[in-house]
Structure 1
Amino acid sequence: MKNIITISREFGSGGRTIGKLVAQKLGYEFYDSEIVNQVAQRSGFSPEFIQENGEYATAKSSLLYALATANQYSLGGVSTLDKLYLEQTKIIKEIADRGKCVIVGRCADYVLRERTDCLHVYICADEKYRAERIVQVYGESDKKPEKRIHEKDQKRKVYYRNYTGQALGQPLNYALSLNSGILGEELCAELIVQAAK
C-alpha cells in the first residue's frame, strides 16, 4: 500500500478534484491550498504571494535572470522565490512523514522521489476539455480560456524545470499518467486508488 500520493497536473485537467476524490476514497489527508497556509504561517510570505509564486514561474524567475537583476536577492544570497521553494519542500517532507496523504502540485513528486511509499501520478487532458472545464468550474469568463491554459501551463513548466532540472509530465517520473478528458475524474480517482493498494 502506498501511503503518499502525489498528483502533478496540467492546468484545468481536474487534478485537484481527482486528488480530493482519492483522499476521500482512501481516508487520506488532502493537501493543496493547505500547504500555502502552512508556508504563510512559517515564512511570513502572504498567501497571495505563495499562491502566485509557489508553483508558477516566468522566465524572469530563472536563476540567470535573478543573477542579472540582483534585486531579487536578500543579504543571505538566496532569492525570495528560492526561500519559498525551500520552505514548501520542508513542509511537503513533514506532511509525507506523517503518511496517508494526497499532495497536489508544488513539485511534490520530485521532492519525494526517493521515497518508496509514494505513488506519483500525472493528470493531463486535451486543450478543448480543459478549456471547457475551466469555464465551468472556475467561471472563466474570458473569451479565450485557451490563452489562460497556455500561460498557466507554461509557468508551471518553467517552475518545475527551475527547481527539478526536469520537464514536467515526463512519463518515467510517474507510476501513472492519466488523461482525465478521456477517462473522467471518477475513473481516474478509482485507478489511482487501485494502484495505491
Structure 2
Amino acid sequence: MKNRVITISREFGSGGRTIGKKVAEKLGIPCYDSELIQKIAEETGFNEKYIKEAGEYAPGGFLSTLTGRAYGPTNEDYLWKIQCKIIAGLAAKGPCVIVGRCADYILRDKADCLKVFIHADLAFRAERIVKEYGEREESPEQRLKDKDKRRAAYHRFYTNMKWGHAQNYDLTLNSGTLGIDKCVRIIQELY
C-alpha cells in the first residue's frame, strides 16, 4: 500500500508552511519544506539560495534569451529531476507532509496524497508577511503578487497545470477566513 502523504501548495503569505508544520507535528510525521532544499543542495552541489530561487522561476524566461540558452536542458531542468527523485523517495519512506515544490504533481501516481491548497485574501497575506518577514522597500502587496506570479509560472511550466485551480487539489482552504489552527484541524481530520 502507498504511504499517506499530505502535500501543501500555498499562496505566499497564506500560512501554508506554518500549517504544514503544525499538521505534521500533530500527526507525528515528518514535514519537509526547507529540508527539501537542503537535500537537493547535498545531491547537486548547488547553493541552497540558488535552489530556492530556481524553484520559483520557469526556465526559458528573459535571462535565457539573453544568454542564448532558450533551448536545451537548463540547470533548472536538472534541479527539477533531482527534486522529483528526492520527493518520491521521501514519500516512499513513510507518511509525511511536503510543502511546495510541486509535490502534489510529482506524487500524483506514487503516493496516497491528500493535495491541499492554502490561500487567503491579499490584505490578510500582506499583514502576515510584514509580521513574519518584516518591512521591505517594495510594498507587501507587490511582493505577494510577484512571488505568486513566479510560483504559478514555475508550476505551469513543469506540470502543465494551473497553480491554485481548485480542480487540481482535494482541498482548498482560506486561512484568512478559517484561521491557521482551524486549517490544521481540518487537514488533520481528513488524514
In the alignment, the residues of structure 1 paired with residue 66 and residue 85 of structure 2 have an alpha-carbon distance, to the nearest angstrom, of 28
Which residue in 2 is equivalent to 1:122?
117
User: What do residues 23-45 of structure 1 show as CA deviations (whole Å, max 9, x unaligned)?
Assistant: 00100101000000000010011
Q: Percent identity between the aligned chains? A: 48
- Code of the residue aligned with 1:93 in structure 2: it is A
- Code of the residue aligned with 2:133 in structure 1: it is Y
- Code of the residue aligned with 1:90 in structure 2: it is K
Say if 2:135 is the partner of 1:140: yes
Q: Where does the alignment leave 5 or more consecutive residues of structure 1 unmatched?
A: none
Match of 2:35, SS?
helix
Which residue in 2 is equivalent to 1:8?
9
Match of 1:13, SS?
coil
In the alignment, the residues of structure 1 paired with residue 102 and residue 135 of structure 2 have an alpha-carbon distance, to the nearest angstrom, of 26
Say if 2:122 is the partner of 1:156: no
Distance 1:63 1:137, change over 3 A: closer
Say if 2:110 is the partner of 1:112: no
- Code of the residue aligned with 2:57 in structure 1: it is A
Which residue in 2 is equivalent to 1:70?
68
Shift in Å, 1:72: 6.8
Counterpart among 161, 166, 169 of residue 164 in structure 2: 169
TM-score, length basis structure 1: 0.90
Moved over 6 A (4+): none
Which residue in 2 is equivalent to 1:34?
35
TM-score, length basis structure 2: 0.92
Q: Is the 8 A contact 2:60 2:69 kept in 1?
A: no
Counterpart among 98, 102, 116 of residue 103 in structure 1: 98
In the alignment, the residues of structure 2 paired with residue 142 and residue 64 of structure 1 have an alpha-carbon distance, to the nearest angstrom, of 24
